[in-house]
Each structure stands twice: as C-alpha cells, then as structure tokens.
Structure 1
C-alpha cells in the first residue's frame, strides 16, 4: 500500500494515457458502441484536469507530461466543436445532393438517415464554408471518372458503388474508425456556361465523336453515419478532394 501511495502520480498519469487508448482501440474493433469510447476519452480528460494542479503542487514534473499531451491533442477538436455548426452532411449541391444509394444497405438502424436534411443544414453550410461549390472541369466525363477513381484509391477509401456518372465510397477516420459515406456525381455540361447538357444534344455529340469538347460538372457529398457534429471533417474532405481533382 505504501508503494502504491508513493507512485500514485505515475499511476494517475498512466491512467490518463491508457484510458483514451482503450476507448479508441475498442471502438475501432467494434467491441462497444462509439459512445462508450468517447465517454472513456471524456473521463480521461477529466482526470487530467484534476491531476495537473496536484502534480504541479507536488512538483511531479514527469507525471504532468501525459495529461498535458492529452489536453493539447484534444484541444483542437474542442475548439472545432464550439466554433463549427453541428452538422454532419456536406454537399456541393444542397438543392439536389448526390444520393447515397449504397449507404442505404451499409448503415445500421442507429445510424443517420441517408436523406439530406434540407434548408437548415444547407444554410449553415453556406455560412461556414461558402467555397464548397460544384467543380466544372474542362475534360470529358470518362477522363474525369478515371481521375476520380485514382484519387479515391490514393486515399484508401472503400468503393461501394461505381457507375459512369456516380462513384460511392466509405472513408474511416484515423482514430475511432468512424465511417463516412461519400458520393461523387459526374454530369456532362457545356464548357462555357457549365450548364447540364440535354440528352439529345449529348447523343448527337457522341455520334459525331465530339465528346472531347464537353466539360464535366463534379458534385460531391460526404456524410457521417453517427454523431451530431463531424467537427468539420466532411467539409475538409470535400474541399481537399475537389482541389486535388482540379489540379490533375
């Protein structure tokens, strides 16, 4: 008992470090619901806040290192939680967002619906990320589709559906392994205005081998399966993907 009392600071520091790791590993391996993993992280943060002032008072410098590291790692996520809107579905087209057809069979009963939530979410998205807009690429649809597949593979996303005009995939977060569903829709448009091409006109161009003159509109949607807020993860994903696609 005396030895345990002597090393109480080291044990408390180790507890603050191991508890979130256990929560992360257990959630990724689906041993328990993600809510339990987040709860373990919150408990570890609370213990860190309690441990630090006492360790400082006792001048236990080494015991302060793990709690400080944990707080510094979590701080950016806390800031995002308080500064970003509590939404989890981002789309370049908020009027007619790409459909998450494959996600219908992949999401469980407790996950979010695949239906877009409408004007309220769209308003918050436009206010926070006004730059998230459809991308017009001056290339034919087939070429853009190939480039999209290359970028999806480069990111390690799992493709769940793939057709000429839409590709769907799943991305898992690094720590807890949260799954986000992604839909990338390709639409042939006129190069100048970027407006959709009438089917009759498109067939005429294809018959006359003029498809190389066409441009492609890229719409992308990224939506989390769980959680009220995605802490900006989906918006960051959409912006990064479309920026790289535009640079190819």
Structure 2
C-alpha cells in the first residue's frame, strides 16, 4: 500500500474513534441531565460501541502500516487506536466484572420477607424480564447466595440515623426516614447516566438490644443491572457496620 492508504486508514481510525466517543458521551450526558430517557442515553453508548471496535481494528492496522512505511501518519493512527482502546476496553472490563451477575435488577438481603416500599412507588413492571416472583427468587439465590441480613450492636433508631448519614454522603435522595419505626427509603444513582435505583432499609430489634438490618435495592429501568444493586447493598451494609 502507498502512503496515501496508510494516511487514509490512520485518519479513518481517528475519526471513527472520536465520532463514537462524542456520540456516546453526548447521549449519556443528555440522559444524565434528564433531557432524554435513561435507556435512550444508554442506547447511544451501545450503538457507538461497534464503531469504536471498528476504529480499534483499523487503528491497529494503520499502526502496522505506519511502522512499515516510515510513520507517515503516526499521530492519527496512534490517537485513533488509543481512544478506541479506551472506549472498548472500559466496556469490556465492566462486562467481564459483572459476567456472573444474574439477569435481574432487584436485590435484597431477605427473600423470605422482602422489605417493602411505602413512600416510593415501584414501576408496575418491576418483574420485567421474568415470568413470576418465584423465578426472581431462584435467580437471586443462585446469583447472590451471600446477600444476607446483618446484626448490629446498636439500637434501631441509631442504626437508621447512621444509615441516613451514609446515604446523604453517597449523594442519595432521601425520600422517607423514620428512626423509631426503623425505616429509610431513598433514591440512589448508578453510572455516569445516573440511573435511578430505589433503596429501602428496614431495621428491627433482635430482642437483645441490637438491630437486625435488611436492605433492598431495585432499578427503575432495565432488566439486568450488571450486579450494581447487590454490590450497593454489600458496600452500604459494610460501611454501616463500620460506623462507630
């Protein structure tokens, strides 16, 4: 191939990588500020991914050609390859990290007595993607066998106050809090798009002056959540237990 083709492929890789990144970022930003729907914003990311993958392959070819031809367009080739690598690599890492997550979007510490929302109204299709609640329970038990209630050595009211403080530090929107009743409901946010996930924390006395804490986190949109809700519960309860 001549230098003309080397330069053409180098610039094609750069333009594809930049275009895919700009389109994805624009869509996600519009969704983040609620100018478009959250899933629509995610759709921009999903539709841009194949173009970024193409840019990655073309960029690699362009780098090889540049190496053979004396680097006539090395900057365009390298930039295109690196931008595409960052785009595709970040998506691949996220998918691989959540490859074991079940295809559900509702996680809880108590499947036998699931914490219920009172101040927050869940979508009518909260079982979307599933045939019935029994299927959700089966997938949940298989995917999150270690998600369980925790017992804390503090009164119910104090536990809720500690939970409220942690929720505020995380930037959650508190929807309802009742220390005496042992309940907190809030809206949490996931990813750059700020997907809205609803959270309820239920605290009951265990009969020995301690608190039995259960938590539920569920996404308002989508079918699978890539394990986000279960991880949120793990992290929150771990931090709550560490409060002194």
Scaled to the shorter chain, the TM-score interval is: 0.7 to 0.9
| Structure 2: tracts of 5 or more residues without a match | 64-76
1:136 is paired with a residue whose SS is strand
Cα distance in 1 between the residues matched to 2:39 and 2:190: 15
Using the alignment, how far apart are the partners of 2:123 and 2:241 within structure 1?
A: 34
> Match for 1:169 among 171, 177, 186?
186
SS of aligned partner of 1:179: strand
Runs of 4+ in 1 over 4 A off after TM superposition: none
In structure 1, the gaps of 5 or more residues are: 192-213
- The Cα offsets for residues 192-247 of structure 1, whole Å up to 9 and x where unpaired, read as xxxxxxxxxxxxxxxxxxxxxx1111110101100101100110010111111112
CA distance in 2, matches of 1:57, 1:135: 54
Between 20-29 and 94-103, the greater mean CA deviation after superposition: 94-103
Structure 1 range deviating more: 80-89 or 15-24:
80-89
Q: Indicate the residue corresponding to 1:204 in structure 2.
A: none
User: Structure 1-normalised TM-score?
Assistant: 0.80
Contact kept in structure 2, 1:16 and 1:66, CA below 8 Å:
no
Aligned residues: 220
Please say if 1:33 is aligned against 2:48: no
Q: 1:168-247 to 2 correspondence within 5 Å?
A: 168-191=185-208, 214-247=209-242
1:133 partnered with 2:128: no
Q: Which residue of 1 aligns with 2:68?
A: none
Between the aligned partners of 2:191 and 2:46, the Cα distance in structure 1 is 18
**CA–CA separation in structure 2 for the residues paired with 1:137 and 1:54:** 56
| Root mean square deviation, CA, Å | 2.5
